[in-house]
């Protein structure tokens, strides 16, 4: 049960209840909690909302900046109506690591702050009673963990997170915790991949069940609820005549229903929405349903005022309305897999997602105000342990997100240091070990940071298409030198153009920190006018190179980071402010994007 990641549903055979609300909470500064049996009852706990990061609720800096062990707990009533079923707790995200206790017993540990895990408590449940769920968590950063960083100990003995990445180390139960129950024999997982020929689609499905017994039947229904295809067995093909395809910004979804029966008795049922579409990289084109697409979108963050990195349905709805207003059609889950609701939004709205694991900070001294030493990250003696966790999280991300039509590609790292030969063995193994994880074999890539150019990166041979993070006009050749920045960018792109590489290039980051409301004529950096001028420069360049097949400026909205002499209460490169209001550049870019189709350059 603990490897299962299917999205929880309630139906005739399954039970699902979100445990959102106030939980008990306590910092464990001395890591004495287990020794003091906090797993049986937290002493003098405070209230803490879930889902939420704990950091920004506090008014004292020691609590906001807390780094170390901390605990959540909740009394959970489990009705006897669930007796005989598999009982589990599904954590959407526990950042960054957690040990779960139920009624004082340790059940399971998990590391990875941005992907779900299941805790099987069938053997310890007390029915028709309150069960004490306690979660010991830790948010320390390490070089052999994702996302990478250090944990310093200040002279006053307090620990402090030193991230090698540019987003605040928000921690806690950042996504919902669900109490779930499934039949003993149940659907553990399914896959659905489509092929198209003329006007006929074939959806190849596979179903995994927890026990061999029982027969499997599958139906595919259209948006009107009409059954358009049926299948029997744990694998098969569902043939759909004149399918309503899932297209970019024109999404159509089908409902796949899987039933487990024995002696004509329904044992288990699981339904999910899928889309019929294909994804191919052909030369420097990205094809969806054999039609070229041009990505217009954003790098984003799960970041909002008060709840930090928690998933907030309200913020997500606003973000999708803003992206639609912009005429966008895509985004990257920078720099970690987002809450599953985000992918369901994208499935319904026809957005393409580049799904990214939190392999970020794999570069020492990514920026001066971030910690780190001056050596190649992949020369470090931490890479063996890191690799295991890295592959684990890629495996879980693909396992969780593989059936979403919105998922276009997998980003296996953000801005790793590939400017030294020592990175190559790590990448060779990573791209080999992840090749067969996705039944649909979607493209795999990673973002190249601005120091890792056509000339300096040793890892150009690995991506199926390129994601370039480039900052002329900001981190180099800034201000009045921006024209030299443009020339330098064109110089690099001319090398890509002249090379024998024929793959799509997408600009996955470019931008300028912009203080909302600061206006200057003529422009100066940080002003709204400068942000527009910088975007104008990049757009001029994009339109001159046919192999550039996408533009995703950094970032959709301003977001919180560590304190630093280059951060004014966070990163201000958003097209929108942190409370989701437009800067002038949003109107400029909207005009451009509403003027170019989703199949621009074709
Ligand atoms: N790239 C030159 C990663 C993002 C940061 C962005 C920035 C850097 C740019 C590196 O997570 O926010 O510094 O704005």
Mean pLDDT within 460-486 = 98
Closest CA to 177 of 100, 70, 82: 100
Q: What is the pLDDT of residues 346-355, one digit of tens each?
A: 999 999 999 9
Q: Is 509 in the pocket of ligand 1 (CB under 6 A)?
A: yes
Q: How far is the CA of 171 from the centre of ligand 1 (A)?
A: 20
44: annotated active-site residue: no
pLDDT of residue 373 exceeding 70? no
pLDDT of residue 213: 84
- Is 367's pLDDT higher than 60? no
Q: Is 571 in the pocket of ligand 1 (CB under 6 A)?
A: yes
Q: How far is the CA of 555 from the centre of ligand 1 (A)?
A: 9
Assign 592 a pLDDT band (cuts: 50, 70, 90): very high
Percent of the chain residues past pLDDT 90, beyond the cut: 96
pLDDT in tens, 409-432: 999 999 999 999 999 999 999 999
For 207-239, what is each residue's pLDDT tens digit? 999 998 889 999 999 999 999 999 999 999 999
pLDDT of residue 2: 76
* pLDDT recorded at residue 3: 79
Quick check: 456 pLDDT over 70?
yes
Distance 149 CA to ligand 1 centre (A): 15
What's the pLDDT at 559?
Answer: 98
pLDDT band at 187 (very low <50, low <70, confident <90, very high): very high
Q: Are 93 and 113 in contact (CB under 8 A)?
A: yes
Q: Which ligand 1 atom is the nearest neighbour of the CA of 559?
A: 12
Answer yes or no: is pLDDT of 273 > 70.
yes
- Give me the pLDDT at residue 522, please: 98
Q: Cα-flanking dihedrals φ and ψ of residue 345, to 5°?
A: -60, -50
Distance CA 543, CA 545 (A): 6
- 602 pLDDT band, cuts 50/70/90, is confident
Average pLDDT score over residue span 323-343: 98
Query: What's the pLDDT score for residue 252?
Result: 98
> Quick one: which H or E segment has residue 260?
strand 254-262
Does residue 320 register a pLDDT over 80?
Answer: yes
Cα–Cα separations (whole angstroms), residue 356 to 114, 327, 346, 413, 415: 10, 23, 15, 7, 12
24 catalytic? Reply is no
**Average pLDDT value over all residues in the chain:** 97
Q: How confident is the model at residue 366 (pLDDT cuts 50, 70, 90)?
A: low
**Rounded to an integer, what distance in angstroms lies between the CA atom of residue 331 and that of residue 159?**
35
Ligand 1 and 410: CB distance under 6 A:
no
**pLDDT beyond 90 at 364:** no
């Amino acid at each position: 049960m603990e490897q299962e990641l299917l999205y929880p549903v309630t139906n005739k055979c399954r039970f699902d209840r979100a445990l959102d609300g106030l939980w008990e909470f306590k910092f464990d500064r001395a890591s004495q909690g287990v020794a003091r049996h906090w797993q049986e009852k937290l002493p003098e706990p405070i209230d803490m909302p879930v889902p939420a990061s704990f950091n920004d609720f506090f008014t004292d800096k020691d609590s906001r900046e807390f780094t170390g062990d901390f605990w959540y707990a909740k009394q959970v009533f489990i009705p006897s109506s669930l007796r005989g079923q598999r009982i589990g707790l599904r954590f959407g995200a526990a950042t960054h690591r957690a040990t779960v206790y139920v009624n004082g017993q340790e059940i399971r540990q998990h590391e990875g702050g941005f992907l779900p895990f299941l805790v099987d408590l069938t053997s310890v449940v007390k029915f028709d009673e309150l069960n004490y769920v306690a979660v010991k968590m830790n948010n320390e950063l390490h070089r052999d963990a994702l996302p990478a960083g250090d944990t310093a100990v200040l002279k006053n003995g307090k620990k402090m997170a030193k991230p090698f990445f540019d987003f605040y180390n928000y921690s806690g139960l950042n996504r919902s915790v669900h109490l779930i129950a499934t039949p003993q024999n149940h659907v553990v997982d399914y896959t659905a991949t489509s092929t198209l020929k003329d006007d006929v689609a074939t959806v190849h499905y596979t179903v995994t069940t927890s026990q061999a017994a029982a027969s499997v039947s599958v139906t595919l229904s259209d948006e009107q609820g009409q059954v358009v295809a049926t299948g029997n067995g744990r694998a098969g093909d569902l043939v759909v005549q004149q399918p309503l395809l899932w297209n970019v910004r024109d999404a159509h979804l089908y409902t796949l229903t899987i039933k487990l029966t024995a002696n004509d008795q329904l044992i288990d049922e699981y339904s999910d929405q899928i889309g019929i579409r294909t994804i191919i990289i052909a030369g420097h084109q990205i094809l969806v349903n054999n039609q070229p697409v041009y990505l217009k979108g954003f790098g984003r963050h799960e970041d909002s005022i008060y709840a930090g990195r928690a998933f907030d349905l309200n913020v997500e709805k606003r973000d999708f309305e803003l992206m639609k207003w912009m005429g966008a059609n895509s985004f990257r889950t920078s720099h970690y897999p987002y809450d599953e609701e985000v992918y369901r939004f994208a499935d319904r709205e026809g957005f393409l997602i580049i799904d990214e694991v939190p392999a970020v900070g794999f570069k020492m001294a990514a920026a001066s105000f971030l910690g780190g030493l001056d050596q190649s990250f992949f020369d470090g003696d931490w890479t063996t342990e890191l690799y295991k966790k890295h592959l684990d999280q890629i495996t879980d991300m693909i396992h969780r997100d593989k059936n979403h039509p919105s998922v276009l590609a997998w980003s296996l790292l953000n801005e790793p240091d590939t400017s030294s030969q020592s990175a190559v063995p790590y990448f060779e193994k990573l791209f080999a070990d992840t090749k067969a994880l996705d039944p649909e074999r979607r493209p795999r890539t990673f973002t190249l940071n601005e120091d890792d150019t056509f000339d300096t990166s040793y890892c150009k041979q690995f991506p199926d298409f390129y994601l370039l993070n480039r900052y002329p006009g900001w981190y180099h050749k800034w201000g009045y030198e921006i024209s030299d920045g443009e020339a330098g960018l064109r110089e690099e792109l001319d090398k890509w153009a002249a090379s024998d590489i024929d793959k799509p290039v997408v600009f996955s980051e470019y931008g300028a920190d912009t203080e909302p409301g600061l206006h200057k004529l003529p422009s100066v950096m940080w002003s709204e006018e400068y942000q527009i001028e910088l975007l104008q420069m990049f757009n001029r360049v994009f339109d001159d190179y046919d192999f550039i097949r996408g533009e995703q400026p950094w970032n959709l909205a301003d977001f919180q980071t560590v304190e630093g002499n280059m951060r004014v209460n966070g990163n201000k490169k958003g097209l929108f402010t942190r409370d989701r209001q437009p800067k002038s550049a949003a109107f400029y870019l909207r005009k451009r994007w509403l003027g170019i189709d989703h199949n621009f350059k074709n």
